[in-house]
Amino acid sequence: MTIQTTRSVDEVIGELEESYIASSPRSRDYFERGQSSMAGAPKGAYFHKPYPLAMDRGEGCYLYDLDGRCFVDCANHHTAQILGHANPAVAEVVRRQLERGIVLGAPMGVEAEMCEEMCRRVASLERIRFCNSGTEATLHAIRLARFFSGRGKVAKFEGGYHGSHDAVEISVSPPLDQAGPPEAPVALPTAGGMAPNAAENVVILPYDDEAAVERLVEQYRDDLACIIFDPKAGIWSQRREFVQAVRECARKNGVLFILDEIVGFRVAMGGLQEHYGIDPDLTTYGKVVGGGFPAGAFGGRAELMDLLDNSQGGSGIFQSGTFSAHPMVMGAGMATLRQLTPEAFAHLNGLGERLREGLEELFEREQIAAKIVVLGSLFSLYFTDREVTNYRVAAKSNQGLSYPIFLALLEQGYYLNQGLGMCALSLPMAASHVDGLVEAVGVAIERVT
Ligand code: PMP
């Protein structure tokens, strides 16, 4: 059943915004003060209507806003805070590093530990390099693929996000009326201001369609430096066979395969590649590997990564960066990885499974046209009766409901991402937090419909 509203959605939104405004005066003051110096918000993702909540502190799985209200955090800083907030072991490492001088323009020992740990966890990683963000990680991995292959084009999937640079910010959220046929999507720049030919360097592949992927990769293989792929995208469900087929298609056509695990690394000890049983040539990381600090990383086969090895005289490609491999970040990352044990993943993924079961049961019982997509401890909520397996299904869902549901969840003390996509559970959570969220979603849907 499609969701029917007895009142207009606008009326409900009006009521919810009124309640939001009444309970967050300090956040409002903060937002208004910022208008004279910020371009709307300190960063794009920090804005949502009517104005963002400003937080005072976080502890475990809770956030406390400037007005003293407490929320169960189901966003976890864009999925990065897998241990929740103010983790004592991370805080201790950071405190020690502050005392040792913060950052000294030379390695301090912790970098090797972190690189070894990543290579130990992930079978395909023979070498790894660190940078400051996921964006930098995909930029450098793609540059390395271009350098190695001597080819210029990049294949990426429609709806996939890999950071904000010209090689990948193409067809991330294309308007459906301009996106072309589903089996041969048109490459459209996502943001203004890109190099005029940015989209010409990108081949767009559709999720969940092996035949189309094979045809397009075969067609462009002589020009393709790499395929960059995030099997979880927005998140929507991907069949294991499809993920494996994409990897094999790259191999068969002699095209490098870059797996984007910037978000997905949080699903298993060995990340998405362990989960799906694939062996990428290069993999990109970010988010959790920095333990709450700005981090990115990319790594893979020695044959490729060693091209960056300037200790051997250099091959003509270089990667560095003022704050890359920052010892505070490496320390916080190591302190995080140490806590990400098999038991921790079992707990996190068990919570994800409980959420999926709880919401599926709710939607079934109440005959609600909604889908919950869960991967490990990541989840997204859609208002549609179709299985969400690609960008176009997600784009056709009833996105008008996400905002009022988001506000209705905040009202009940659950903090999700504004579009209800790419939300994440954290290690300090218990079954009761998940059950509370399921109940709150039920109440929110009732409130909005
Ligand atoms: N790849 C994926 C899959 C992402 O989700 C993101 C950010 N959400 C990025 C790359 C870019 O990472 P960053 O924001 O650290 O630049």
Both tokens assigned to 414:
């659950």
My answer on whether omega of the bond before 405 falls inside 30° of 0, hence cis, is no
Residues 257 and 134 in one domain: yes
Task: With respect to residue 4, please indicate whether it lies within any of the assigned structural domains.
Answer: no
pLDDT for residue 5 is more than 70: no
Q: pLDDT grade, residue 449 (50/70/90)?
A: confident
How far is the C-alpha of 302 from the C-alpha of 258, rounded, in Å? 14
Q: Domain of 154?
A: 88-339
List, for residues 337-358, the tens digit of each pLDDT value.
999 999 999 999 999 999 999 9
Task: With respect to residue 212, please indicate whether it lies within any of the assigned structural domains.
Answer: yes
Residues 42 and 133 in one domain: no
List, for residues 83-109, the tens digit of each pLDDT value.
999 999 999 999 999 999 999 999 999
Pick the residue whose CA is nearest to atom 13 on ligand 1: 134
User: Number of structural domains, the chain?
Assistant: 2
**Distance from the CA of 322 to the center of ligand 1, in angstroms?**
20
Residues 175 and 278 in one domain: yes
**Residue 376 carries which side chain, given as an amino acid letter?**
G
pLDDT of 334 reads 98
Nearest atom (ligand 1) to Cα of 135: 16
Residues 35 and 169 in one domain: no
Residues 404 and 319 in one domain: no
Pick the residue whose CA is nearest to atom 10 on ligand 1: 162
**Distance from the CA of 137 to the center of ligand 1, in angstroms?**
9
User: Contact, 296 vs 135, CB < 8 A?
Assistant: yes
Q: Looking up tokens 């067609």, which residue turns up?
A: 219
Residue to substitute in 79, 157, 162 for testing ligand 1 pocket (most ligand atoms within 8 angstroms of CB): 162
Residue to substitute in 135, 169, 422 for testing ligand 1 pocket (most ligand atoms within 8 angstroms of CB): 135
The residues that bridge with 64 in the sheet, in sequence order, are: 57, 70
Residue to substitute in 77, 166, 263 for testing ligand 1 pocket (most ligand atoms within 8 angstroms of CB): 263
Task: With respect to residue 3, please indicate whether it lies within any of the assigned structural domains.
Answer: no
Residue to substitute in 46, 136, 161 for testing ligand 1 pocket (most ligand atoms within 8 angstroms of CB): 161
Nearest atom (ligand 1) to Cα of 232: 3
The residues that bridge with 375 in the sheet, in sequence order, are: 378
H or E element: which one contains 182?
A: none
pLDDT of 277 reads 98
Residues 234 and 133 in one domain: yes
List the CATH number of the domain containing 189: 3.40.640.10
Task: With respect to residue 1, please indicate whether it lies within any of the assigned structural domains.
Answer: no
Choose among 317, 268, 315: nearest CA to 142: 317
**Cβ < 6 A, ligand 1 pocket:** 78, 133-135, 138, 161-163, 230, 260, 262-263, 286, 296
Which DSSP string corresponds to 70-108? EEEESSTTTTT-TT-BS-HHHHHHHHHHHHTTS--SS--
List the CATH number of the domain containing 19: 3.90.1150.10
> What percent of the chain has a predicted confidence (pLDDT) above 90?
96
How far is the C-alpha of 336 from the C-alpha of 214, rounded, in Å? 39
How far is the C-alpha of 135 from the C-alpha of 163, rounded, in Å? 4
* CA count, 13 A, side-chain hemisphere, 59: 6
CB atoms within 10 A of CB 39: 10
Strand order in 55-59's β-sheet?
55-59, 62-65, 70-73, 414-415
List, for residues 23-77, the tens digit of each pLDDT value.
999 999 999 999 999 999 999 999 999 999 999 999 999 999 999 999 999 999 9
Residues 65 and 188 in one domain: no
Residues 220 and 261 in one domain: yes
Pick from 339, 373, 392: which residue ends a domain?
339
Residues 195 and 54 in one domain: no
Residues 432 and 406 in one domain: yes
List, for residues 175-198, the tens digit of each pLDDT value.
999 999 999 999 999 989 999 999
pLDDT for residue 6 is more than 90: no
Please state which of the ranges 231-235, 322-326, 420-424 shows the lowest mean pLDDT. Answer: 231-235
pLDDT for residue 120 is more than 80: yes
Pick from 339, 374, 406: which residue ends a domain?
339
Please state which of the ranges 113-117, 231-235, 258-262 shows the lowest mean pLDDT. Answer: 231-235
Residues 271 and 306 in one domain: yes
**Distance from the CA of 328 to the center of ligand 1, in angstroms?**
21
Task: With respect to residue 248, please indicate whether it lies within any of the assigned structural domains.
Answer: yes
Residue to substitute in 262, 323, 422, 423 for testing ligand 1 pocket (most ligand atoms within 8 angstroms of CB): 262
- pTM of the complete model beyond 0.75: yes
Task: With respect to residue 194, please indicate whether it lies within any of the assigned structural domains.
Answer: yes
Pick the residue whose CA is nearest to atom 12 on ligand 1: 134
List, for residues 218-251, the tens digit of each pLDDT value.
999 999 999 999 998 889 989 999 999 999 999 9
List, for residues 354-383, the tens digit of each pLDDT value.
999 999 999 999 999 999 999 999 999 999
Measured at the CA of 335, the angle between CA 334 and CA 337, to 5 degrees, comes to: 60
Distances (CA, A) of 262 to 169, 199, 259, 285, 359: 15, 23, 9, 4, 26
Please state which of the ranges 118-127, 228-237, 327-336 shows the lowest mean pLDDT. Answer: 228-237
Both tokens assigned to 213:
């992927």
Both tokens assigned to 106:
């030379």
Task: With respect to residue 241, please indicate whether it lies within any of the assigned structural domains.
Answer: yes
pLDDT of 2 reads 58
User: Contact, 379 vs 372, CB < 8 A?
Assistant: yes
| Mean pLDDT taken over the chain | 96
Pick from 302, 324, 339: which residue ends a domain?
339
pLDDT for residue 1 is more than 80: no
Give residue 378's Cα distance to chain centre.
Answer: 9
Nearest atom (ligand 1) to Cα of 79: 8
pLDDT of 312 reads 83
The residues that bridge with 423 in the sheet, in sequence order, are: 379
* CA count, 13 A, side-chain hemisphere, 388: 27
**Residue 412 carries which side chain, given as an amino acid letter?**
Q
Alpha helices in 184-224 (DSSP H): 210-220
**Distance from the CA of 1 to the center of ligand 1, in angstroms?**
35
pLDDT of 191 reads 86
User: Contact, 75 vs 58, CB < 8 A?
Assistant: no
How far is the C-alpha of 233 from the C-alpha of 393, rounded, in Å? 13
User: Contact, 51 vs 27, CB < 8 A?
Assistant: yes
Nearest atom (ligand 1) to Cα of 233: 3
Task: With respect to residue 2, please indicate whether it lies within any of the assigned structural domains.
Answer: no
pLDDT of 232 reads 87
Residues 221 and 253 in one domain: yes
**Distance from the CA of 10 to the center of ligand 1, in angstroms?**
32
**Distance from the CA of 290 to the center of ligand 1, in angstroms?**
13
